[in-house]
Amino acid sequence: MSEKNVALWGGRFEGAPEEALQAFGASLPVDRRLWEQDIAGSRAHAHMLAKQGIISSEDAAAIDAGLGTIAAALEAGEFEFSLADEDIHMSIERALTKLVGDAGRRLHTARSRNDQVATDTRLYVRQQAQALARQLLDVRGTLIRLAQDNAAVIMPGYTHLQKAQPVLFAHHMLAYSWMLTRDFSRMLAARDAADSSPLGAAALAGTGHPLDRAQTAAELGFASVIPNSLDAVSDRDFLLDLIYACTVTMVHLSRLCEELILWSSDEFGFITLSDALSTGSSIMPQKKNPDFAELVRGKTGRVIGDLVGLLTVLKGLPLAYNKDLQEDKEGAFDAIDTLRLSLVAVEGMLATMTVNAEAMRAGAQGGFMAATDLADFLAARGVPFRDAHEVVGRLVLVAEKSGRTLEELTLEELRTASPVFDEEALEALKIENVVARRTSTGGTAPVRVAEQLALAVESLEADKNLLSVR
């Protein structure tokens, strides 16, 4: 058996895996991004081993210096990976042993790759969830600024993608801000779910060495130590939490992007996307395509798949560690990467798009969107709402057959449908009054949207402060 094929666990085996199977079992192409976390975990482990008298202080110092050299090489892109290395943990340990000799061989005392991998992954998830939460704050800020800058713009609101009632554009933008506010909370929950240390659980049952798990947890910044060694090495709930947070956020971004796609079309014309965040056609010179919005919408499916994939991996696993768990990271990394770039794309589109206020207002004039207000007008004057609903329905039919809007009907025509109508009914049909009348809590009336905007700003600032304490 050649030296290059001797694995770190090779003492038990007389033969090495075939090259193809070795590649099949390797996770290095995926987990090499965990090198910073692996070095941090190894340093903490070595410091604790020395403090507990399990290895000498000289060995710990050599390990620490060697890991520093390896970190510098990895940072500079000068680290040489070997095809024989199964994962990033083996790569670093092999390089460390080459640098510092037997001290490097002692590093793995009282540690298994099971708790090592779990530690590295938790450290990475904690870091990435924090970074994604920060990006969510940025997009929320952009949505709030859009609302502030277009506070008086009226647009059609839809149900079933049919015009329903007019709303303020600011109200619409703030709806997405609140979605991302909930996403922020989910992302912090995922970060906190990863904030417990499995290091010291070893393979599954703990170890007979006198470890101080609290010391390594404190050095790595973990809030606590996982109390059960079996759970410590087999738990991937924190990854599910992260991918779920990414998935729901992507669904929200996809819904927003669907609207940006519709609104930027000639049929709507509500917004104009920046040239920098659009693409052209290879054959049609006139085309300006919302490709980045479409990509966010499309990539949402892969993140949903990442969540389903990990759930499927975990559903049948007995305790404790199983090699299936090697499949835990690729989907999680994909979800993180996809969401990160999607947030960049969405923020860029929102920050640079032009809001076409006149087109939005024109859209709000059609579709008989004051119909509910006419019915409410009658109901406020004692007409049972169901009867009022029927009366206004007949008026809509009259307007539709004559090619007019409700606003274009005369008072005489209104009174023909119901003698309860008077001059004030004509005022009720004006689009500004329709919007201003929605004064219930959370409604689209300017006074309520102003209150909501202040609340959104307050929530954003509170969440910024919450994130800054970590």
Q: Verify that 145 and 249 share a domain, yes or no.
A: yes
434 assigned to some structural domain: no
Q: 3 falls in which pLDDT band (50, 70, 90)?
A: very low
Q: What is the dihedral of CA 186, 187, 190, 196, to 10 degrees?
A: -130
> For 273-294, what is each residue's pLDDT tens digit?
998 887 776 777 666 899 999 9
Alpha helices in 150-236 (DSSP H): 169-193, 213-219, 229-234
For residue 280, being part of any structural domain is answered with: yes
Give domain status of residue 6, yes or no.
Answer: no
Per residue in 70-122, pLDDT tens?
999 999 999 999 878 889 999 999 999 999 999 999 999 999 999 999 999 99
Residue 458 confidence (pLDDT): 98
Q: What is the mean pLDDT of the segment spanning 314-325?
A: 96
Domain count, the chain: 3
- Per-residue confidence (pLDDT) for residue 10, from 0 to 100: 57
What is the 8-class DSSP label of residue 207? -
pLDDT of residue 8: 55
Confidence of residue 9 (pLDDT cuts 50, 70, 90): low
Q: pLDDT tens across 193-230, in order?
A: 999 999 999 999 999 999 999 999 999 999 999 999 99
Provide the pLDDT confidence category of residue 258 given band limits of 50, 70 and 90. very high
- State the residue range of the domain holding 392: 371-428
Question: Stretch 56-62: mean pLDDT, rounded?
Answer: 98
Q: What is the pLDDT of residues 372-386, one digit of tens each?
A: 888 999 999 999 999
| Domain of residue 63, CATH code | 1.10.275.10
- Domain final residue pick, 335, 357, 379: 357
Domain termination site, one of 357, 388, 404: 357
The yes-or-no verdict on residue 6 having pLDDT over 70 is: no
pLDDT-based confidence at residue 44 (cuts at 50, 70, 90): very high
State residue 256 phi and psi, 5-degree precision: -65, -45
CATH of residue 131:
1.20.200.10
Do both 327 and 423 map to the same domain? no
What's the count of helices (H) and strands (E) in the chain, helices before strands? Answer: 20, 6
Alpha helices in 353-445 (DSSP H): 357-365, 371-379, 385-401, 411-417, 423-428, 431-436
- pLDDT in the model for residue 1: 34
Residues 124 and 180 in one domain: yes
Examine the domain organization and report whether 193 and 262 are in the same domain: yes
pLDDT confidence band for 262 (50 / 70 / 90): very high
In the DSSP assignment, the letter for residue 11 is G
- Among the listed residues 82, 224, 274, 281, the single catalytic one is 281
- Out of 4-8, 78-82, 170-174, the most confident range is 170-174
Tokens linked to 262: 């519709």
Q: Record the pTM.
A: 0.91
**Do 254 and 402 lie in a common domain?**
no
The whole-number average pLDDT for the span 430-454 is: 96
Is 219 among the domain residues? no
Q: Is 160 a catalytic residue?
A: yes
Mean per-residue pLDDT, 327-346: 97
Name the band, by pLDDT with cuts 50, 70 and 90, for residue 407: confident
The mean-pLDDT minimum among 13-22, 281-290, 402-411, 429-438 falls in: 13-22
Q: H or E stretch including 338?
A: helix 328-352
If asked whether residues 77 and 123 sit together in one domain, one would say no
Burial (0-12, 13-18, 19+ Cβ within 10 Å), 1: exposed
**pLDDT at position 75:** 97
Task: State whether 295 and 343 are in the same domain.
Answer: yes
Q: Give a yes or no: residue 439 inside a domain.
A: no
CATH of the domain at 401: 1.10.40.30
Catalytic-labelled residue, pool 160, 282, 440, 468? 160
Please indicate, yes or no, whether residues 243 and 138 belong to a single structural domain of this protein.
yes
Q: Cβ distance 104 to 96 under 8 Å?
A: yes
Domain match, 284 and 237 both: yes
- Note whether 65 and 25 are same-domain residues: yes
Provide the mean pLDDT of the chain: 93
| pLDDT at res. 279 | 76
Q: Which alpha helices (H) appear in 77-112, and where do they start and end?
A: 88-100, 102-106
Percent of the chain past pLDDT 70, that is, above it, reads: 94
Task: Answer whether residue 63 is part of any domain.
Answer: yes
For residue 455, being part of any structural domain is answered with: no
Last residue of a domain, one of 357, 385, 402: 357
Could you tell me which residue, 282 or 310, shows the higher pLDDT?
310
Q: Are residues 103 and 121 in the same domain?
A: no
| Catalytic status, residue 171 | no
Please list the residues that pair with 163 across neighbouring strands: 158
pLDDT at 26: 78
- pLDDT-derived band at 448 (thresholds 50, 70, 90) equals very high
Residue 267 has pLDDT above 80, yes or no: yes
What pLDDT, on a 0 to 100 scale, did the predictor assign at position 5?
45
Q: Is residue 287 part of a domain?
A: yes
pLDDT higher than threshold 70 for residue 17: no
From the list 172, 144, 134, the residue with the least C-alpha distance to 457 is: 144
Note whether 124 and 104 are same-domain residues.
no
